[in-house]
Amino acid sequence: MITLNLNGTDHELDVAGDMPLLWALRDVANLTGTKYGCGMALCGACTVNVEGQPTRSCVTPVSAVAGKRITTIEAVGDDAVGKVVQEAWRQLDVVQCGYCQSGQIMAATALLSSNKAPTDADIDAAMSGNICRCATYVRIRAAIHEAAGQLA
């Protein structure tokens, strides 16, 4: 048994310590908002925030995050910054197909939690590991700026 703090609640999961966090979230905890993309931490679709830091759940073993605060897309709106990010995403109609967007929102929330006034370069650096096949990068950047303006 491994105890994970998922979205503010401790969960005892009967999983092997080397199980990727992504599969523990999706298959055991039934939190399916985090998506499988590449399985190699290259695309960012599986991004969750661990202790506020964007983390690729597809390559993170559950044993590495036991006892740490894990936030998924299901609860990102419970946080003031996450809520503003989600509102900006909706307001600017960022989503096209939507598959990568949970990871994008998690990375953007982590960025704005530590930097309330990011430059384009800051945004590009923070979001560089999150790939969008629909190429909504311009709208993603605009939404991050919009959210930053609301947080200022």
Query: Helix H segments across the chain?
Result: 21-23, 62-65, 80-91, 101-114, 120-127, 137-151
Backbone angles phi, psi at 3, to 5 degrees: -95, 125
Q: Give the model confidence (pLDDT) of 33-89 as tens digits.
A: 999 999 999 999 999 999 999 999 999 999 999 999 999 999 999 999 999 999 999
- From the list 55, 54, 46, 2, the residue with the least C-alpha distance to 22 is 46
Render pLDDT for 112-133 as a digit per residue (tens, 0 to 9).
999 999 999 999 999 999 999 9
Kindly report the pTM of this predicted structure.
0.96
| C-alpha torsion 133→134→138→144, nearest 10 | -80
Which residue in 15, 45, 48, 46 sits closest to 29, CA to CA? 15
Instruction: Kindly list the structural domains of the chain, giving each domain's residue range(s) and its CATH number in brackets, ordered by start.
Output: 2-71 (3.10.20.30), 76-151 (1.10.150.120)
- Up-side HSE of residue 74: CA atoms within 13 Å toward CB? 14
Confidence at residue 102, expressed as pLDDT on a 0 to 100 scale: 97
